[in-house]
Amino acid sequence: MKIGQLAGLAGVNPSAIRYYERVGVLTSPDRAGGQRRYSHQAIYRVLLIRFAADMGFTLPEIRIFLNGLKSDAPVGPRWRNLARRKIREVEQTMERSRQLKILLERLLDCRCVSLEMCIGALAPQPPNETGWFQSRSQKELKRAGPLAEESAELAMRILNSQYKRAPF
């Protein structure tokens, strides 16, 4: 089948098919008369690429999974290895999202008298010698309002878990 047919069946643009070839997740097909000619099996590979990408796998991860994959090779062990790694990433993302939600809910009750005061209370200081972000001083936080101290602490936990900076 031609590239336009494959793209139409997979629900992508032909440029996506060419891109998948370029980055090595889809093998380049034989050509007839200068045009790409894909086997009917190519649709399954493109749909798998789309599914994996929609689920948050990166193209390098997809390439690792598909590297050397033959139509009769079992996919279970490869999926399990990638799934274990991705589950850890998802759990970390969920924890950061949970903490961010708590922070945002607390900010709904913010009583700072100015945006400068609020930002001043929550904005992190530059990372300290251990590479971790730190909140403003207790004095600055007390001026900012009743929830600022707790919210700033939560903001620092989010920043530190997200960026995990190395010492300077």
Q: Give residue limits of the domains in the chain.
A: 3-73, 106-163
**Bridging pattern class, strands 30-32 and 35-37:** antiparallel
Is the separation of the CB atoms in 151 and 103 below 8 Å? Answer: yes
CATH fold of the domain at 3-73: Multidrug-efflux Transporter Regulator; Chain: A; Domain 2 (1.10.1660)
pLDDT tens digits, 56-113: 888 988 887 777 556 566 667 777 777 888 899 899 889 888 888 887 877 777 777 7
pLDDT in tens, 29-65: 988 888 899 998 899 999 999 998 888 888 988 887 7
